[in-house]
Structure formats: C-alpha cells, structure tokens
Structure 1
Amino acid sequence: MRILLITGPGGSGRTTVAAATALRAAREGARTLLLTCDDALPAGLVPGGVPGLAVRLTDSAEGFRDVLTALQEQGGAALDLLGARPLERDEITPLPGARELAVLAAVREAARSGAHDLLVVDLPAAPEALALLALPGELRRYLRRLLPQERQAARALRPLLGRLAGVPMPSERLYESAARWDEQLAQVEDLLGRAEVRLTAEPGPSAVEAVRAAVLGLALYGLRPGALLATRVVPDASPDTWLTVLAAQQRKALDEWTAAGLPVHAVPHLGREPRGADDLTALGVPGAAVTAASAAGAAGSCSVERPVEDRSAEDGSLVWRIPLPGAVREELELVRRGDELLLAAGRFRRALPLPPALRRCAVTGAALREGVLAVRFVPDPAVWPSAER
C-alpha cells in the first residue's frame, strides 16, 4: 500500500487537495482510502458513489479512551502500589496529542487491513503534522530509556529482589507490554518513513517562510517533500488590477520555490470554493504516481540520506553530512550526548542516533554550507580499535 501524506500551512487548502488526490486515484482504478482528522470536511468534497473510494474521519476521543483504558489494565499492579483509582471509560476526555495518536493508529490499521492500494492522509497543519511524524520515534526512544529491554534478562531475580527491597518489582507483563508497544510504534515509524509527503501552500510572502520551515522540519526527521502544491494560483494576465498585483506576488513565491529545487505544481484558483467531483477534478492535482519522488520508487522515495564521509586518509576525520535545506546558522544548536546527536533547527528538535562508526568518535566541529550540516568527528583513541591492540 502506498501512502501519501498531505500537509501545509493552516488555510492552504490541504484538505481540498487531499480529497482531490484521493478522488483522482480512485477514478484511475486504485482502491483508495482518504483519512482525515478535519471535522469540517464538507460532504460535497468527496461525493458518495465513487467506486473504490472510502473516507474515514479519525475519532480522537474514542481512540484516546481505548489507549488509556489499555494502559490502566496493563499497569494495574503499579497503580495499586500507588493507591490510584483508575479512571472509568466514560469519564476519560482526550488530552493534547490524542488526535496525533488517533491518526497513527488509523494509519497502522489501514496498512494491516490490506483493503486499499493507496492511503491519502489529510494531516493537520505543518507544525502539528511534523510533531505527529516524529511521535513514533520519540515514543520508542522514551520506552527504551524508561524500560530498557536488557532489564528483562533479570526477570527470574525479580521476586527475590522484591522480597529484599520490600516493594513489588515491575511485573513481566509490564515489559511484555513495552515490547509490544515498541513493535507497534516501529511498524508505524516504518510506514511513515516510506510515505510520500506533499506540501500545500498558497503562494505569497508569508507562505515562503512557512514552506521553508516545513521543508527544514521534514529534513530533520529524514523526509523531503515529493511535491509542493501551490494552491489558489490566479492567472498571470487579468484586466483586474488587484488580481494583477496578486499574480505578481504569487509568481515571485513560485520562482523562489522553484529556485530552491522544490517540485512545484500549480493548482488553479477556481474563483469559488471547490464543491463536488467536477470542481475537484478541475483542480488538476497530480496523480498518486507522477511526482519525481514517486518515480524513484515507493519504498523510501522521500527519505533523506545522511552519508558518512571517510576522510581518515586526508586529515584523520569522519564527516557526517546532514541535509538541512533552508537552515539558518544562528538557529542551529548541536549537542553530543552518548550515542545521540541532539540537533535543534529553529522550532524543531531531534535526537539523531549516531551511525555505529561515529559512536567511537568525538565531535570536533560543524559547519553549515548550502543547506547541508557537516559534523566532523575524529576517532577516540580510548575506544577506537588499533593495530597495536
């Protein structure tokens, strides 16, 4: 199953683009599922009776109740130890982040069902969408830190340790649950890593900065956009002076995006809000397999490579190159902590696992040139293997 993720700045028409993309794919013969978290999705956008097209609205409230109820059941021993009174299902209300969890669960469910050829996901606005894409990896990282899998090796000693300590020890069920969560999160992380991301933006001065930030955030999480759909584009030639000025502003933004190497596709302004299948077809959005990223192959088509350059023969260093298009030097923060590189770019922050060879090295410098952060490492003599040992 191919997955298309649609996001962009708020108000850029991403829900309309997602609906038009799903409709076109279904008409071209693909069994298509449109997954949206927008409660305001107009029924007219996806008309009924289109063969091969299904629409699903994620229910964050119900999904959050399922997750929290399951957590309470699996952590019952710990809750009893703390004297906690579990929440009843009907009193559980969704918290911030519940929508993201519901979308991730729906993506995994759709992939497991095998009932569709294409999944089009109408994500929230770009900042929230980037947080959603990062969520599986971050949750797995927290699980590994809080419940290390190697601790399971001592499960035979837990009853003895419990008697010596005088308090109950974490049950085997807790570690089994953690392993199950890690497996499920890994599946979702793999699905998102192989998906194609398409950005939507209405060209204009503010959108240029919003797209730059979105592309930078995607790169930090190992993705690049397969297409940038410039929405509500007006004709260049018009007798209306106001439209002429607007067209000039849009053309400037389109030229900047093209010069930055983004795969831009213009979506025309219809002069009205799109309604029904005919309007969606008139938008002329690209199909599910016509972008440059798609042509490169479905698996990993939008992934970003982070190569390690071996310069040991020249100056004894290794250089890790991390693409960060649109990054500004003053907005970058870089910290080495254990086997991770903590990298912040603007409002985005990511803990990048170091490649195996670099874990035995020390960071000696970094430089940002032409949208690529080059981090320089040198082998640590204390741990680097040598011919003398």
Structure 2
Amino acid sequence: MADLLGSAGEMSELALAQDILDHYASLDDAGKLDFLGHLAHDMNIDPEAVRSALEAYEQAPSKRSYRAFMQAAEPPRQELIRRLNRVPGATGALVGMRADLLRLSGDDPELAALDLDFRHLFASWFNRGFLVLRPISWESPAHILEKITAYEAVHAIQSWDDLRRRLRPRDRRCFAFFHPAMPDEPLIFVEVALTKGIPGSVQALLTENRTTLAPETCDTAVFYSISNCQAGLASVSFGNSLIKQVAADLSAELPGLTRFVTLSPIPLLTTWAKAEGIAMPDDPEARRALAAHYLLHAKERGNAPFDPVARFHLGNGALVHAVHADADASPNGQAQSGGVMVNYLYDLAQVAAHHEDFQTKQKITASSEVTSLAKAGAQAVTAER
C-alpha cells in the first residue's frame, strides 16, 4: 500500500491498485479485518505533525502553510482510497469494503475513525449531481429486476408475479438512483402507487384482485416502499433527493396529482412499548392512539424522534398526516407495530418550511387528527403507568 502512495506512473499505479483490490477480495473475514486494521492504525494522522502544521499556519498564514496543514490533517489512507478508486469498477469494490468495515469493526475507535474517512469520500463521490434517476419497469433488464427483488427491505417481493403486480400496471411506478460508476447497481429505490384518495392499508395496494386505475384519474401518489440497496453506503443520504425528484417528475407528467404521501411502517413501536413497560392494546383505536403518541413524543438522545422512519421523513420536510390500525397484516408488520402504519404527507409548498422547523427547533408537524389522537394515547400511557 505504501508503494501505491509513492507511485508516480499512471500504469504502475493502476496495476498496484488492482493488485490490492484483488488481494482484498480474496481474504476471509479475519484477513479483511487485518487489512482494515492496517488502514486504521498504521495510515492514520500524525497528531504531532498536525499540531506543528497548525501552529505554523497560525504564526504565518499563507497558501504554503495552509497546504502543509491540509496535508498533515488528512490521513494517508484517504489518498490511498482515492488511488484505489482510479481502477475501473473500483467504486463498487470500495462500497463493499466499507460494508465489511461496518460489519466487522465492533467498537474499535480507530476503525470508527476509518469509517468517517470512507463516509467523507463517499459523500463527495455520491453527490446528488452524479446520481441518475431511472424508472424501473417490467421491461427493465432481468438482472436489475432481480436486484430490486433482492433489495426490497419493507414489503418482501415473494415471486415474479408479485414483482409484476408492482411494476406492470399503469398506476404503479418504481424509480431508482444509479451512479455512473455502478451502472448495474441500484443505490436506493422507491415504489409508488397512484391512487384516488389516501390509502390506509398496504394490503389494498398489493392485492392481486384490484382494479387498475387510469393514471390521469388519480389524485394521490403513494410512496409505499423505500429501500436502500448498498450496505456500504449507510449514512450517505439519497432518500430526500429521491422523493423530491420523483414527486417533481410525477407532477410534471400527471398534473392531476395533488397529494404526495407515504404509507410507512413504524418499525420500533413494539420495541419502544416493551422498553416503556406498555402493553400493545388489542383495540385498534387504542393502538392508533398509542402509535400517534409514539410518533409525536417518543424521543432518543438529542430530542430526535425515536422512530428511524419518522426521523427520515420529518427530516425531509414531511408531516405526520394519518395513522392507521390493521394496515399491515404481514408477520413483520405485526411484530413491529401491531399492524399500525402511518401516512407522511409531502406538501410540496411547505416542505422547505417543515424541514427548517424540524432541523432548527425539533418541531414535529402533524395534522390536527394525529395531534388529537396523540393526546388520547398520552392519557392511556399515563393511566397504564
């Protein structure tokens, strides 16, 4: 690896980089952990060099002293990763390397610091300006459809017939972000149902026995499944841009669409209730009220919503619009939330304001119905305690 950093010739550099990537791919988990440990421990910054360079810059600010500080403050492993990425096809391999790092790192603080270097580089390489939005249809290449099936993380796709029901009808859409360096690997995708009115059950959207609607007669676009595809791109956010781009494109195509909502799971509701010593109610209305209270008032450190899906959509500028009991009959839906689901509404005229309120004031915007429901849930929680 030191040879790669010291290489001056392009051809020798590419050959060395390819050798390193090939060697890494051949390693078992123990070998990969040793490799990553070398990057973390032996290719880190030199704190004394950083202090000296900063002191020199403070005493005599100049282009030269600032460059010296920048070079000292950047660990050599960042430049190594950049040079590895010059090999054709290396971007996907490096995303896989970070997935290994996340899987194997445990609580090693130096490996955690190495992960920050990967995240820093990936934030630039996977900038929205480089991403390509592509529609996924039943006519898309089979290898892409196979990956959509495999990566679906919200509502499992059970068969080719199930996939066809989600992609082929005129009132169903799917869109994915791709990167030019990984053209056959979706990064994130969203499945969309065009409906009349806002649905309160995922079964109604996915059932075999439904009538296909003419898209021009629909008034609502429902984002009912959003799946991140690459474990190595965790914490590199695409979802915000994806939803807004899809909403803008659908608005341009179908002017009759007046509402953009999700039908989202509440993945940690039962986990939170159990930790709080609260029993999940048998009564559907009581479950709705408990879920509303949870979405608006259950917090983690830093006063952020406890629920990860809520953090995502509220951070994007959506509001909590409606809560539905018996909305997901699947075993996963029952285990996560007793079957309760939620609509987050993207009011395109208010998204920026809601995003600002959430980011600066931790304000959760909700409909009056959900706010009232949450009050009933709070009373029930207080009574149970």
TM-score (structure 2 length as normaliser) = 0.23
> Which of the two has greater strand per residue?
1
Which structure has more relative contact order (CA 8 Å, sep 6+)? It is 1
TM-score (structure 1 length as normaliser) = 0.23
